[in-house]
Chains A and B, each alone.
Chain A
Amino acid sequence: MKKPKVAFFDFSCCEGCQLQVANFGEGLLDILNLIEVVEFREVMSEKWEGDFDVAIVEGSITTPHGVERIKKIRDRSKVLIAYGSCATIGGINGMKNKFDLDEIKEYVYKDGAKYFETIPTRPVHQVVKVDYFVHGCPVYQPEFVKVLKCALQGIPYTVPDHSVCVECKLNENECMYDKGLTCLGPVTRAGCNSWCINNGNICYGCRGMVSNPAKNGQMDILEKHNIPLDWVVNKIDMYNKPRELEETETNGKKR
């Protein structure tokens, strides 16, 4: 069997998710037995002119140039994987959407602002069709491998649509709320094996929210723990701001 041609691309992001692949260690060799990497800016300088069997796209779309570029990549790719929170939910870049775009541009670039065109931050699927999602900031390596295996077999991968609490309980962690801390686990979709909580940190909601988060119930919880709403909204917005574009542009239809 000819090895599928796989390329990595990055848009607005920190490239940390690609680093997760570069850091794979020995497992990487097994993966390289399966695929031929034809483009990967972070680890090689070659470029490929033909089509891709699998394009792995990191980063969110934040400029008109980005829109054009991702459309071209989509046209050349049989399968497109959105990779990392920036690509799957807009991620940290989405915080920009909280501000007036011109104002925030000037704040960032000062006098140089006129040289930069900017549009509201969008995850990749809000611009082109995405076949697979690997959520996370950074991605959780075991999940990436799972998704890659599905993509190579041509079968769907279902992102878990239950809360991080489920994995957290299966790992028998003491709940952060019992320690007096606030955790976004109850509204965040699982799939990372409650990575952060296992390591003593709270969940920041980096994988995006479950498809049907319970708004009223969440409010109750905050009230009971005396946690101000703004504070949590800010925390959720850290990764999830571009969700609003989804709700308005798709009339709130669940994806």
Chain B
Amino acid sequence: MTQYVILNKTDLDEFISRLAQIKKTVAPVKRGVKNYAFEEVTSGKNVAVKYIPTILPPKKYFLPQTETLQQYDKSKKTWNAVMEFQEMIIFGVHTCDLAGIQCLNMAFSDKPKDINYLARKNRILIIGLECNDYCDEYASCKVMDNHMPNGGYDLFFTELDDFFMVHINTLEGEDLIEKTGLFKEAKEEHKKALKAMREEKRKRFKDEVNVTHNQLKPLFDKSFEAPVWQSLEARCVSCGNCTNVCPTCYCFDIEDEIDLNLTTGVRKRRWDSCQNEPFAQVAGGENFREARGERQRHRYLRKFKYPVDKYSRYFCTGCGRCSRTCMAKINLKETINELAQGAK
């Protein structure tokens, strides 16, 4: 298998069109005044090759906002499992979002395996796209070690001069290269160009906070009583935006929906969020995380502590979405810096 091929930039449009003929293809497209979203495309016309992280991460294709899990019929006393999935190609996934998908894969492959998730995941092909420079000031992908490609894709595109350098990572990826038939073998000069860009990039990307990757975990280990949570308590309005847009938040709620005949119906799951008021409420009305500061602390510990204990991996990708979208302008990098300052 050839590892690297190239695609002329002028052929990108045709490449996307050909992909879309193979199967459903989604890619980043401009949404509104200053945002982007992954949407179905049929040509390269609207595809944004330079974009800041989309409003929702590609998570929405792996774990849709709502999904039917079961069907029931009370008269027949039957429950049937339902699987909803679709073959598709996601084009243009940044390295932070590739990391997000890897985190979800870990969580949903853990026992008990989430069959609905895995069935969907196995039918999605991923084409990554490198950020040669920062998307914006909210990013912290370097300190999270997600700024460079590190697997989790079938093909990976890097934009250079007048061509894309394309890394082939799987047989499925190679198959796409063959079927679309627009690629040429990468020569030594192309590889040199890639190397030169990466060297430049390494200089440009610096730890975005005042602690290093390895210092984050111990910092959060000792953070439970830190004053920063009180400051977030006063500022957060519990809109739930930070968790809904996070590529590694996967909490959901289950809801039964009966049909109008009051006999048949479906069981659905829908995204839920620890920032929502009733999330930690139990029968009797007790709420285990009533204070907003506690909910915020929980969110942070679910990125920087608990998953590291469980999976040896940070569940923050550094994509910056939570800070970008926060109603109260609560900023992840600032929170980390405040914690670090307090720990001195």
CB < 8 Å neighbour of A163 from B240, B262, B271: B240
**Segment at the interface with B among A42-50, A211-219, A241-249:** A211-219
Residues of A167-210 whose CB lies within 8 A of B: 169-170, 172-175, 177-179, 185-187, 210
B-chain residues with CB within 8 Å of residue A210 when the two chains form the complex: 238, 277
Q: Is the CB of A153 within 8 A of B277?
A: no
Kindly report which residue of chain B lies nearest to residue A187, judged by CB atoms. Answer: B237
- Whether the pair B327, A172 counts as a contact (CB closer than 8 A) is no
With A179-B33, A214-B238: A166-B260 Cβ-Cβ less than 8 Å: no
Residue B50 lies at the interface, judged by CB distance under 8 Å to chain A: no
Q: Are B260 and A145 in contact, CB atoms less than 8 angstroms apart?
A: yes
Do the beta carbons of A221 and B277 come within 8 Å of each other? no
A100 within 8 A of B: no
Interface of A is mostly: helix
B258 contacts A165, CB within 8 Å? no
- Using A153-B262, A172-B55, A214-B292 as known contacts, say yes or no to A163 and B238 having CB atoms under 8 A apart: yes
Question: Judging by beta carbons under 8 Å apart, are A211 and B237 in contact?
Answer: no
- CB contacts (< 8 Å) of A30 on chain B: these are 260
User: What residues of chain A lie closer than 8 Å to B325, measured between beta carbons?
Assistant: 169, 175
- Distance (Å) between the CB of A42 and the closest chain B CB? 22
Residue of B nearest to A1 (CB): B262
Q: In the complex, are the beta carbons of B34 and A217 less than 8 A apart?
A: no
Q: How far is the CA of A162 from the CA of B80 in the complex (A)?
A: 31
A74 CB–B CB distance under 8 Å = no
Choose one: B237, B241, B257, B262; the contact of A217 (CB below 8 Å): B237
| Cβ contacts under 8 Å, A221 to chain B | 237, 327-329
In contact, A217 and B236 (Cβ under 8 angstroms)? yes
Q: Mark A140-180, 1 if CB is under 8 A from B, else 0.
A: 00000110010011000000011101100110111101110
Say whether A104 faces chain B, with CB atoms less than 8 Å apart: no
Residue B216 interfacial (CB < 8 Å): no
Q: Is A220 an interface residue (CB 8 A)?
A: yes
Task: Among B32, B240, B270, B292, point to the contact of A165 (Cβ < 8 A).
Answer: B240
Interface size class of A (residues with CB under 8 A): 35 or more
- Cα distance, A150 to B257, chains bound together (Å): 10
* Cross-interface CB contact of A34 among B35, B65, B66, B262, cutoff 8 Å: B262
| Contact between chains at B236 and A214 (CB < 8 Å) | yes
B240 and A162: CB pair below 8 A?
yes
Report the count of interface residues on B (CB-CB < 8 A). Answer: 36
Give the distance to chain B from A246, nearest Cβ to Cβ, in Å.
Answer: 17
When the two chains form their complex, are residues B56 and A172 in contact, meaning their CB atoms are under 8 A apart?
A: yes
A33 interface residue, CB < 8 Å from B? yes
Docked complex: A123-146 residues within 8 A CB-CB of B: 145-146
Tell me the smallest distance from the CB of B220 to a CB of chain A, in Å. 23
Residues of chain A within 8 A (CB-CB) of B273 are 162, 166
Q: Which residues of chain A have C-beta atoms less than 8 A from B65's C-beta?
A: 170
Given A169-B244, A172-B55, A174-B32, the answer on whether A162 and B237 have CB atoms closer than 8 Å is: no
User: Which A residues are in CB contact (< 8 Å) with B237?
Assistant: 163, 186-187, 213-214, 217-218, 221
Per-residue A-contact encoding for B133-146, CB less than 8 Å = 1, 0 else? 00000000000000
Are B235 and A166 within 8 A (Cβ)?
no
The closest CB in chain B to the CB of A216 belongs to B234
Give A214's nearest chain B residue, CB to CB: B237
Least CB distance from A154 to B in Å reads 11
Interface flag for B31 (CB, 8 Å)? yes
A229 is an interface residue with CB less than 8 A from chain B: no
The answer to whether B278 and A161 have CB atoms under 8 Å apart is: yes
**Residue from B238, B241, B257, B270 within 8 A of A169 (CB atoms):** B241
- Name B230-251 residues within 8 Å CB distance of A: 234-241, 244-245
CB contacts (< 8 Å) of A170 on chain B: these are: 65-66, 244, 270-271
A216 to B230 Cα, complex, angstroms: 13
CB of B37 within 8 Å of the partner chain:
yes
Q: Would you call A31 an interface residue if the criterion is a C-beta within 8 Å of the partner chain's C-beta atoms?
A: yes
B276 CB-CB contact with A under 8 Å: yes
Query: Among the interface residues A170, A173, A210, A218, which one has the most CB atoms of the partner chain B within 10 A?
Result: A170
| Bound-state Cα–Cα, A175 to B37, Å | 13
A224 at interface, CB cutoff 8 A:
yes
A26-44 interface with B by 8 A CB criterion: 27, 30-31, 33-34
* Distance, CA A161 to CA B262, complexed state (A): 26
Q: Is the CB of B327 within 8 A of A169?
A: no
Chain A hits for B34, CB < 8 A: 174, 178
Q: Give 4 closest A-B pairs by Cβ, nearest first.
A: A174-B32, A162-B276, A217-B237, A165-B239
Interchain residue pairs with CB less than 8 A apart (27): A146-B257, A149-B262, A153-B258, A153-B262, A161-B277, A162-B277, A162-B278, A163-B239, A166-B244, A166-B273, A169-B244, A169-B245, A170-B65, A170-B270, A170-B271, A172-B37, A173-B55, A174-B31, A175-B325, A177-B327, A185-B239, A214-B238, A217-B237, A220-B328, A220-B329, A221-B327, A224-B329
A174-B55, A178-B33, A186-B237 are known; give 14 further A-B pairs, CB within 8 A.
A34-B262, A149-B260, A153-B262, A162-B278, A165-B327, A166-B244, A169-B240, A177-B327, A185-B239, A212-B277, A214-B238, A217-B292, A217-B327, A221-B328
